[in-house]
């Protein structure tokens, strides 16, 4: 079974090389979606064995993830794994996610930082709110709605392929998981918070909430 990892990144020159090297140990191919970086992120990724897709300008995390996943799909991936390029996620957890997909015949496996309580308090509160909304609106019960570390089958990608260009991509995937009645599971992952200012902010969380409200009203 062919497994491809997709790593969206923006200006991660310091970490992307190591992330690619470690990820290659657990998958057949690594695709780095370089979202208009101004540093040497792309060069570092290539040097360490990744196929790099470059955006001329920054388009947002969701757009970048879709670029990489579309390529993985066209390359015949049976399983697609997504993780961040800043070193926050431990590639060593990939076998756990993909293993759950295969053994339990799931459509998607979602990584959870919250289940191990490895998350700043402000992020925990924001995640609790978005988690509650996801359960009420879409019938998907997960504790960590904003984790970018996940794995899904080729067939599932055809059903969850998202429109979001920004951080709301994670919530859209959850929404589509519920809408398509996909078989899912949330499992704990290791997480290292490199930069407390990166990732989903309070403003992002507010935008995501209203986006979820729109999806619910549009159903």
Tens of pLDDT, residues 172-194: 999 999 999 999 999 999 987 66
pLDDT in the model for residue 115:
54
What is the value of pTM for the model shown? 0.86
State residue 109's pLDDT score.
Answer: 98
Domains defined along the chain, listed by start: 3-218 (3.90.550.10)
State pLDDT tens for residues 145-172: 889 999 999 999 999 999 999 989 999 9
What is the mean predicted confidence (pLDDT) over 122-139? 75
Residue 197 has what pLDDT? 46
pLDDT tens for 60-95 read 999 999 999 999 999 999 999 999 999 999 999 999
Q: What's the pLDDT at 24?
A: 98
Q: Which residue has the higher pLDDT, 116 or 67?
A: 67
Mean per-residue pLDDT for 127-138? 78
Q: Give the residue with greater pLDDT, 101 vs 213.
A: 101
DSSP string covering the chain: --EEEEEEESS-TTTHHHHHHHHHTTSSEEEEEEES-SSSHHHHHHHTT-EEEEESS---HHHHHHHHHHHHHHTT-SEEEE--SSS-B-GGGHHHHHHHHHHTT-SEEEEESGGGT-S-HHHHHHHHHHHHHHHHHH----S-TT---EEEEHHHHHHH-----STTHHHHHHHHHHHTT--EEEEE--B--S-TTSS--HHHHHHHHHHHHHHHHH-
> In this structure, are residues 155 and 77 in contact, taking their beta carbons and an 8 Å threshold?
no
* Mean pLDDT, all residues of the chain: 89
């Amino acid at each position: 079974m062919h497994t491809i990892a997709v790593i969206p990144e923006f200006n991660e020159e310091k970490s992307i090389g190591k992330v690619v090297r470690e990820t290659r140990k657990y998958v057949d191919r690594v695709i780095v979606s370089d979202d208009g970086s101004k540093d040497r992120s792309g060069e570092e990724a290539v040097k360490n064995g990744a196929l790099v897709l470059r955006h001329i300008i920054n388009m947002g995390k969701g757009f970048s993830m879709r670029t990489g996943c579309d390529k993985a799909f066209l390359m015949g991936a049976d399983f697609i794994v997504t993780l961040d390029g800043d070193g926050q996620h431990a590639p060593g957890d990939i076998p756990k996610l993909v293993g759950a997909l295969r053994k339990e015949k799931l459509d998607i496996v979602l990584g959870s930082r919250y289940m191990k309580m490895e998350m700043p308090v402000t992020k925990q509160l924001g995640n609790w709110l978005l988690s509650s909304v996801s359960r009420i609106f879409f019938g998907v019960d997960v504790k960590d709605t904003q984790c970018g570390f996940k794995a899904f089958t080729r067939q599932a990608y055809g059903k969850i392929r998202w429109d979001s260009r920004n951080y709301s991509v994670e919530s859209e995937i959850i929404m589509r998981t519920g809408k398509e009645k996909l078989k899912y599971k949330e499992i704990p992952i290791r997480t290292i918070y490199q930069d407390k200012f990166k990732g989903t902010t309070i403003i992002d969380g507010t935008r995501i909430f209203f986006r979820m409200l729109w999806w619910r009203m549009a159903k």
